[in-house]
Amino acid sequence: MDFAFSFEKSTLAKDIWFDETKMTVLLEDGRELSVPIEWFPRLRDATPKQRNNWRFIGKGEGIHWEDIDEDISIEGLLK
């Protein structure tokens, strides 16, 4: 018996968090995407307080950091 599983992949973020070297983004479909903070000099040079002062853009299509004038699109991270 063959079973085919199909699910819709989402490019919308649900949450983000940081450790010393990376930013992890939780997508609505359950995937977690981790990227080096080094890829984003403004995030790399920001204080932990500045990194954690973010908000979603477009219901999770992107992330904005007011304090450091940084915007990152989720779709761009997936490419």
Taking 70 as the threshold, does the pLDDT of residue 61 lie above it? yes
Contact 70, 64 (CB under 8 A): yes
Q: Tell me the pTM.
A: 0.85
> Please, what are the domains in the chain?
13-78 (3.30.2020.40)
Cα angle, residue 27 at apex, residues 24 and 28 outer, rounded to 5°: 150
What token pair was written down for 24?
A: 């992890």
Rg (CA), the chain: 14
- What's the pLDDT tens digit per position in 34-54? 999 999 999 999 999 999 999
DSSP states of 22-62: EEEEEETTS-EEEEEGGG-HHHHHS-HHHHT-EEEETTTTE
